[in-house]
Structure 1
Amino acid sequence: MTDISVYRRSGDLSGRCLCGSVTIEISGSHVAAVGACHCAMCRRWSGMVMSDFDAAPEAVTVTGKVSRYASSNFAERAFCPTCGSHLWFRDTRDDEPYEFMPGIFAGADDFPLISEIYIDRAPGYARLAGDHPKKTRAEYEARSLFVEGDDP
């Protein structure tokens, strides 16, 4: 995939859910670029294609009530319990980065798309254009942790 170090930034970003009851402040290391996933679980959760960017845990401050769903034995998906806005996906083993939904951060509007996985699972209405690295389900699962039986 892409060398994300060229997109690593240290600075401030502010985000919020649709109703404003959850706010997220990033003050520090984050990746100013977006990755996209078309796996069945991400499509089911997002309604289309899930996209996210990484932020270091020590840079993140979350204010407000957040609901978390253990979507696998190694990850959680978080959302606002009031309005349902999706906030993040996070590997819960060790001190992994947050993978934030870029749409909740106005400052992420200009982040480029730098990777796409499960491209062979992308529905016709969610094909993404651009010259960025892409991996099929088999290519991604050969080198990365995944959920068994993630079929539509």
Structure 2
Amino acid sequence: MSGTDREARLAPYRRTGQLDGRCLCGAVELRVDGDYLAAVGICHCGICQRWSGLVWGAFEAKADAVTVSGDVATYASTPFAERAFCPACGTHLWLRNTDRDDAEYELMPALFAQAAEFPLISEIYTDCAPAYAPLTGSHRRATRAEYEAKNAHVEGDVP
């Protein structure tokens, strides 16, 4: 998919505004004040399944729109990305590429009350999804092979 096709598909979900979120214990507060995507993407890769315990989903926010207060721990889950969590309660906060400073945040939707209204628009690694987690709807889907043909990934990542 070309960048133009992707932008056209995502255009209806582009928003600018403010969202406030927090971890389970409240030690970490997050604010999105700027551009974000009001839609959720789901991943069923083995790393995401292990991290989330089921399925992993996120919405994107521009790096310059995100402000974080409180202590945050990070884990380099791949050579090109980190996952962040609250060291006090363990709440998962985001996934973010580490190859550039302006990389978007992929934020956990449940941290933000407003995100409960965001639709599911994509699902990747669909052939790796566990039998107990089928998702329905008319969103875009990609198998492991389809996703990995076009995106950075970790070789041999299987559930």
Structure-1-length-normalised TM-score:
0.98
Tell me whether 1:51 sits opposite 2:57 in the alignment: yes
- For residues 88-109 of structure 1, the C-alpha deviation after alignment (integer angstroms, 9 at most, x for no partner) is 0001111210000001110100
Aligned-residue identity in percent:
59
Q: Equivalent of 1:20, from 5, 19, 26?
A: 26
Contact 2:44 2:55 in 1 (8 A): yes
Match of 1:110 in 2: 117
Q: Equivalent of 2:145, from 130, 138, 141?
A: 138
How many corresponding residue pairs? 152
Gaps of 5+ in 1: none
- Counterparts of residues 53-68 of structure 1 (less than 5 Å): 53-68=59-74
Matching residue's letter, 1:13:
L
Q: Equivalent of 1:127, from 106, 112, 134?
A: 134
Instruction: Specify the SS of the correspondent of 1:109.
Output: helix
Matching residue's letter, 1:53:
F
Contact 2:37 2:59 in 1 (8 A): yes
Pairwise CA distance, 1:57: 0.6
Task: Select between 124-133 and 112-121 the one with higher mean Cα deviation.
Answer: 124-133
Matching residue's letter, 1:151:
V
Contact 2:27 2:70 in 1 (8 A): yes
Matching residue's letter, 2:136:
A
Pairwise CA distance, 1:6: 1.5
